[in-house]
Structure formats: structure tokens, C-alpha cells
Amino acid sequence: MLKIIRYPHPILRRKADPVKEIDESTLNLAREMAETMYAAPGIGLAAPQVGFPLRLIVVDVSYTEGKPDLKILLNPEIVYKEGEIISEEGCLSIPGIKSLVPRASKVIVKGLDLKGDPLEIEASGLLAICFQHEIDHLEGILFIDYLSPLKRSLIERKLRKKSKEE
């Protein structure tokens, strides 16, 4: 199990580096990220959230319904967006905070699988939201960045106070 990095750690604001080589350490990281995500429990996790500034995400929005469908993407990017959906989001790196966030209702994501083969996934609803959230992490963007400046500053103040108490 990996330790989930919490806000305001600076790695969460850093743009992640591309995965250049798929080796044993990449495969182990992907496996450990999936185990960490399931144990948290969460539906998505990006490598920077566990201390690795790499463009690697794991996503599974179906396991809570008893139908695991783990998706692991290396160097993912959103190549198409359409529509808008506003839903409540939370984040494993910002525990205890949830807020309504606008996202595209449908996306197409491209990346590589663990064998290095190209992958393209069309997603809508919760899966589309999850992909956008996790890919944002790779850019150093957090869901709180979509909130009004006032709401964001109140949340940031609360989180800083909480991190000093821990």
C-alpha cells in the first residue's frame, strides 16, 4: 500500500512527467496504485497523489457495484470533450471536502496500456468525470481550482489549519 499525499503538498501542483519506459517498477507502481485506490476507498488515483510525478492513472468506477473494471492508463490525454455535467466531487488527497464541479459530460481519452499499446476510451457520466479529475492531477490541477475564489480560499484555509494540527 502506498501513502496518499495530502494537500497542500507541492507535488500535487507539479505537472507530471511522461512515462518513458514501461519496466518492472512501472508495473509495480500501477499495481500498488490500484490496491491503494481500492483500499482508500476511491474510484481513481493519479501517480502524483502517491508521490510519483508520472503520467499514470488508475480508474475503476464500477467496483463498488461488484463489477470491477480497472482501467490503467499511461500518458493519458483527453482528445475530445462535449456537453456539461455538474456533480459533487471529492479527492483522496483532500479528505473531507466535497463540492460541485462542472465537467464535460462525455470525453475521449487516449493513452497507453501497460504493454505500451495505444488505448482509446470513450467515456460518459461518472467515468468521464473521473478521467477528467485524474488527468487534471497530472497537470497539477485540483478540483478545488474550479470553485469560486471565495469558496476555494475558505477550503484552503480549513485544509492548512487541518494539516498543521496533524
What's the CA gap between 130 and 142, in Å, rounded?
12
- Cα 41 → chain centroid: 13
Task: Give the sign of the dihedral formed by CA 121, CA 43, CA 149, CA 76.
Answer: negative
Say if CB 134 and CB 70 are below 8 A apart.
no
pLDDT tens for residues 123-152? 999 999 999 999 999 999 999 999 999 999
pLDDT tens for residues 62-84? 977 778 899 999 999 999 999 99
Give the 3-state secondary structure of residue 54: strand
Give the other-Cβ count within 10 Å of 153's Cβ: 12
For the chain, the structural domain boundaries read 10-165
What's the CA gap between 63 and 159, in Å, rounded?
29
Question: Is it true that domain 10-165 has CATH number 3.90.45.10?
Answer: yes
Give the global pTM.
0.95
So what's the pLDDT on residue 16? Answer: 98
pLDDT tens for residues 23-58? 999 999 999 999 999 999 999 999 999 999 999 999
pLDDT at 102 over 90: yes
**Which residue is associated with the grid cell 496518499?**
4
What's the CA gap between 129 and 89, in Å, rounded?
9
The residues annotated with a catalytic role in the active site are 134
Q: Transcribe 116-127 into DSSP letters.
A: S-EEEEEEEHHH
